[in-house]
């Protein structure tokens, strides 16, 4: 179940990549979902993109 204010998104992912995400998430004491979100924000920041802060987007953003 998605958290309030967050968009649910089904993702198909290579099993080897999933294993690495699980390993990283465990090291950082995060869920795999939180780790993926962290890595996406980090990648956007490297490109100079700063998304709205968590929770500030409306439920219909991107629809």
Query: Is residue 35 a part of any domain in this protein?
Result: yes
Answer yes or no: are the C-beta atoms of 38 and 30 closer than 8 Å: yes
Q: Domain count for the chain, please give it.
A: 1
Six token digits for residue 53: 């802060």
> Domain range holding 35?
15-46
Q: What is the mean pLDDT of residues 4-30?
A: 94
Nearest to 37 by CA among 60, 15, 21, 23: 21
Report, as an integer, the average pLDDT of 28-43.
Answer: 95
Nearest Cα to 9, choosing from 39, 45, 32, 33? 33
- Residue 9, domain member (yes or no): no
Q: Establish if 5 belongs to a structural domain.
A: no
pLDDT: which is higher, 54 or 14: 14
Residue 23 within any structural domain of the chain: yes
pTM: 0.73
Residue 24 domain-assigned (yes or no): yes
Whether 27 is covered by a domain: the verdict is yes
pLDDT digits (tens, 9 = 90+) for 48-61: 998 877 655 554 44
């Amino acid at each position: 179940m998605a958290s309030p204010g967050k968009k649910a998104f089904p993702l198909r992912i290579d099993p080897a990549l999933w294993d690495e995400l699980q390993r990283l998430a465990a090291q950082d004491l995060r869920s795999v979902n939180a780790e993926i979100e962290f890595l996406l924000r980090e990648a956007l920041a490297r490109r100079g993109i700063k998304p709205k802060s968590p929770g500030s987007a409306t439920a219909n953003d991107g629809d």
